[in-house]
Structure 1
């Protein structure tokens, strides 16, 4: 079509079907789409401009390191916000974190760390990367053992606490062994106990080592950082998480 005159305006027309009386038919697909858009618009997502409610639910975790690291315990409080409460889209997400301790030696970096983590939480999105970032921090003076698990630094153990909390609220999947792995680990432990039943626990060994004599010769697991790797059936196998070099 050749346009011979100057265009001074335009409008977009859409083809519509008509009823017998001349009225236009409604498009059921567009109605459904508009309803879906309306429902999705009502869903509240985590973002940095979301106002803090007057009341938040939270959990407090006690972190006690060996005395040579810190003589005072740390108390980590993580407060969560509940989004879309009472609907099928209800979610519990971390909103802020506080760390308290009597040890003032770490006061400055503790305040800085809590402010940064709280800011990341309020940004929304996938905040689970914080766990690996914190765990990758190593103390230049060396790590320590805490409850049978090796911790490269206090920061890394704080990351461990964050991970446990994210698992509790459903943001991370539990890394516990499944039923098959748990049964295999239990069978292997039973075999080890039977093999060491004749051996007498040394009085200088810890209570944990006396209860599980095989732990005296166990090595560190690279996956769960627990001293529980032993040689079973010709393969190095962790008696805590089930990780095996043989697959």
Structure 2
């Protein structure tokens, strides 16, 4: 069940580094174990450590306890903004004032005839 939950969170995307921190924070009241010269407070903390090492090795996070290298939500996408009304004939947002008449720069439609 734990692996399915972790997999689902990772598939969802975004900053998933919190999963590692949550797992590493779990303490077993019966005690932990020494692994690789470090005290690991529970089996869940050990799993969190393995996931963290994998994320560091694959370049997903910068280092131990450091979170994502870049925020996936921080990339700004500039969408084109429409200035003025759409042309009633072709639908393009190319209506310009030409000699006192609104005229479409795409198809030439003019409100003045």
Task: Classify the secondary structure of the residue corresponding to 2:21.
Answer: helix
The residue correspondences of 1:1-247 to structure 2 (distance < 5 A) are 112-175=1-64
| Offset of residue 147 of structure 1 | 2.0
CA distance in 2, matches of 1:135, 1:147: 15
| Offset of residue 122 of structure 1 | 0.8
| Offset of residue 148 of structure 1 | 1.1
Gapped regions of structure 2 (runs ≥ 5): 65-113
CA distance in 1, matches of 2:9, 2:17: 10
CA distance in 2, matches of 1:144, 1:169: 27
Over the aligned positions, Cα root-mean-square deviation in angstroms equals 1.0
- The answer for the alignment partner of 1:206 in structure 2 is none
CA distance in 2, matches of 1:118, 1:124: 10
CA distance in 1, matches of 2:7, 2:36: 28
CA distance in 2, matches of 1:172, 1:159: 14
Gapped regions of structure 1 (runs ≥ 5): 1-111, 176-247
CA distance in 2, matches of 1:173, 1:145: 25
CA distance in 2, matches of 1:147, 1:172: 21
The TM-score normalised by the length of structure 2 is 0.54
Greater fraction strand: 1
Task: Count residues in correspondence.
Answer: 64
CA distance in 2, matches of 1:148, 1:133: 21
CA distance in 2, matches of 1:164, 1:127: 14
The TM-score normalised by the length of structure 1 is 0.25
Task: Classify the secondary structure of the residue corresponding to 2:62.
Answer: coil
The higher relative CO (CA closer than 8 Å, separation ≥ 6) is in 2
Per-residue CA deviations over 1:90-109 (Å, capped at 9, x if unaligned) read xxxxxxxxxxxxxxxxxxxx
Instruction: Extract structure 1 runs of 4+ deviating beyond 6 A.
Output: none
